């Protein structure tokens, strides 16, 4: 019943974000996935920020689902959240493979707005002991050269 209510709240549109965001903390994977879909349907900046929070701090099942949900938001909202995520060095250091996937997906989008965040990642190429961070740096450099 909870998932049906979340689905209805998602279809109701903006204004019910807080009620849906609370359901992300339920720990129930199907309920959490439905909450992510509902937030995507709402398409508000608050909903996009909640999805970005799940990308960074969510459960193991929530990260890939939230990553996919982020790309279903309007492009300007998705790019704003992507800029915030990639601009936080601690996020990239904790989740380098996720950061690389996010940059790969951003390749098809307008990456002009990401330049500030990407410039900060290029210096990670000197962390040669962590190949994942070196890949992040090379990907950032590639995107900046486009």
Q: Over 80: is that where the pLDDT of 112 sits?
A: no
The model's pTM? 0.84
Where b means 16+ CB within 10 Å and e means fewer, 24-48 reads beeeeeebbbbbbbbbbbbebeebb
**Is residue 128 helix, strand or coil?**
coil
pLDDT digits (tens, 9 = 90+) for 54-109: 999 888 888 999 999 999 999 889 989 998 998 888 999 999 999 988 888 887 66
């Amino acid at each position: 019943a909870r998932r049906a209510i979340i689905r209805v709240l998602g279809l109701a549109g903006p204004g019910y974000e807080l009620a849906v965001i609370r359901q992300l903390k339920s720990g129930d994977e199907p309920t959490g996935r439905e909450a992510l879909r509902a937030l995507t349907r709402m398409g508000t900046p608050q909903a996009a920020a909640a999805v970005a929070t799940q990308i960074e701090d969510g459960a193991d099942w929530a990260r890939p689902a939230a990553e996919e949900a982020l790309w279903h938001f309007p492009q300007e909202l998705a790019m704003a959240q992507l800029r915030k995520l990639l601009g936080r060095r601690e996020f990239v250091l904790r989740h380098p493979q996720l950061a690389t996937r996010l940059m790969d997906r951003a390749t098809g989008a307008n990456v002009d707005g990401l330049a500030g965040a990407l410039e900060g990642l290029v210096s990670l190429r000197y962390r040669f002991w962590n190949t994942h961070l070196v890949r992040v740096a090379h990907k950032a450099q590639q995107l900046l050269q486009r």
